[in-house]
């Protein structure tokens, strides 16, 4: 009996011990869990306190406050910096834009309202500026348009060109260089002014010089710069979609900043119609450069028909001038340019620069 009794007692003790060990284990576990959780909340609390400190520290203006403030304000400052780096780190746009559509219908039969033109250009920034949102443009292009009293032509130009230039994924700005007064017109000098004024805005590395009345008929004719000066308006309807002569450099052309500076820019002394484009050709030929061109198919463009403007009569001196380009180009050019800026207006679709360029 005694043996059986003690064995029962032992078994009870054994169970009690087991239970106790289990309870102890449970207790430790729960304590541990709460301990860890309390650690989190204190650190969160400290963190909160810490941010609160940094935001209020500058307001208190005392030395130690700002001192610790600058030390601790690092994390909030780092966040926008990372975002900035992401934006900077945009991939370069491809060599050929995937947005191009090829041949375009261009017609000048119906007049355009400014509203219609603006509807077409939702992406534009003030001054007629644009850059692609999802890639980094390969070139920064200033488009220079010599101008006087051709508002209707400018409307067509803006209507057609802005969507094309955006599909070409260019980082660009449009500069209309308006010759003030009623003196005889000087296209090349206005182009020199455009080069100078555009560089006051932005670090452009490419310049496209375009007459206001020429519209490309194919968006694969990219308004950018190439390893040689580029002639873009190679097959104009006016000339039966052919090049009038091999050295022709009129209408629309482009030059990198480097190419432009190599030829000392353009001549300033061609007043009236004609000759300045041949002078420009002579300048680049004398520096060993050649003309780069798109194919006749891609380079098709349409000219808005008009009567010749008054005060832009053919320049009788042009043939004599052209024959002396090599002697005159070092003295006459971007280095000797002088003019008076009359006004500079940031319009929605372009930058309007009015200048007094003097008289012959």
Ligand X SMILES: *[C@@H]1O[C@H](CO)[C@@H](O)[C@H](O)[C@H]1NC(C)=O
Q: Report the catalytic residues.
A: 211, 213, 273, 276-277, 303, 306, 308
Residue 335 C-beta: closest distance to ligand X, Å: 27
What's the CA angle centered on 161, arms 159 and 164, to 5 degrees?
120
Binding of ligand X by 343 (CB under 6 A): yes
Residue 350 C-beta: closest distance to ligand X, Å: 8
Q: Between residues 141 and 154, which has the closer beta carbon with respect to ligand X?
A: 154
Give backbone dihedrals phi and psi of 283, rounded to 5 degrees, phi first. Answer: -60, -50
Q: Between residues 141 and 177, which has the closer beta carbon with respect to ligand X?
A: 177
- 105-144 footprint of ligand X as x/- string (CB under 6 A): ----------------------------------------
CA 112 to chain centre: 26
Residue 176 C-beta: closest distance to ligand X, Å: 6
Residue 344 C-beta: closest distance to ligand X, Å: 9
Q: Between residues 99 and 345, which has the closer beta carbon with respect to ligand X?
A: 345
- 158-177 footprint of ligand X as x/- string (CB under 6 A): ------------------x-
Binding of ligand X by 345 (CB under 6 A): yes
Strand partners, 301: 216, 236
Sign of the CA dihedral with 24 first, then 26, 27, and 29 last: positive
User: Which of 82, 151, 203, 327 forms a contact with ligand X (CB under 6 A)?
Assistant: 151
By CB under 6 A, the residues from 71 to 110 that bind ligand X are none
User: Which of 124, 142, 154, 355 forms a contact with ligand X (CB under 6 A)?
Assistant: 154
| Spatial contact of 156 and 210, defined as CB atoms under 8 Å apart | no
By CB under 6 A, the residues from 171 to 230 that bind ligand X are 176, 178
Place of tokens 């692609």: 132
Q: Which residue is nearest to ligand X (CB)?
A: 352
Q: Between residues 247 and 343, which has the closer beta carbon with respect to ligand X?
A: 343
Q: Which residues bind ligand X (CB under 6 A)?
A: 151, 154, 176, 178, 343, 345, 352, 354
């Amino acid at each position: 009996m005694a043996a059986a009794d003690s064995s029962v007692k032992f078994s009870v003790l054994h169970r009690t011990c087991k239970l106790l060990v289990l309870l102890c284990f449970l207790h430790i576990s729960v304590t541990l869990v709460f301990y860890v959780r309390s650690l989190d909340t204190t650190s969160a609390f400290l963190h909160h306190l810490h941010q609160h400190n940094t935001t209020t520290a500058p307001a208190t203006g005392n030395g130690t406050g700002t001192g610790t403030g600058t030390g601790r304000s690092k994390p909030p400052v780092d966040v926008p910096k990372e975002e900035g780096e992401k934006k900077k780190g945009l991939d370069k746009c491809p060599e050929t834009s995937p947005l191009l559509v090829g041949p375009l219908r261009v017609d000048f039969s119906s007049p355009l309202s400014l509203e219609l033109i603006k509807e077409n250009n939702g992406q534009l920034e003030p001054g007629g500026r644009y850059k692609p949102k999802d890639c980094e443009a390969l070139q920064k292009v200033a488009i220079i348009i010599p101008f006087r009293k051709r508002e209707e032509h400018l409307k067509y130009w803006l209507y057609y060109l802005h969507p094309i230039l955006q599909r070409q994924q260019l980082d660009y700005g449009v500069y209309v260089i308006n010759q003030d007064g009623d003196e005889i017109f000087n296209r090349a000098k206005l182009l020199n002014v455009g080069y100078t004024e555009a560089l006051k805005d932005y670090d452009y590395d490419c310049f496209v010089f375009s007459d206001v009345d020429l519209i490309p008929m194919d968006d694969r004719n990219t308004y950018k710069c190439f390893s040689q000066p580029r002639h873009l308006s190679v097959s104009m309807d006016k000339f039966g979609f052919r090049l009038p002569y091999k050295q022709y450099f009129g209408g629309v052309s482009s030059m990198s900043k480097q190419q432009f500076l190599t030829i000392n820019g353009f001549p300033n002394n061609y007043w009236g119609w004609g000759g300045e484009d041949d002078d420009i050709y002579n300048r680049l030929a004398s520096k060993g450069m050649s003309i780069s061109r798109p194919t006749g198919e891609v380079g098709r463009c349409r000219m808005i028909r008009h009567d010749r403007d008054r005060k832009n009569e053919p320049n009788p001196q042009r043939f004599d001038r052209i024959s002396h380009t090599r002697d005159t180009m070092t003295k006459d050019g971007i280095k000797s340019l002088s003019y008076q800026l009359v006004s500079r207006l940031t319009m929605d679709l372009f930058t309007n620069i009015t200048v007094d360029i003097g008289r012959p």
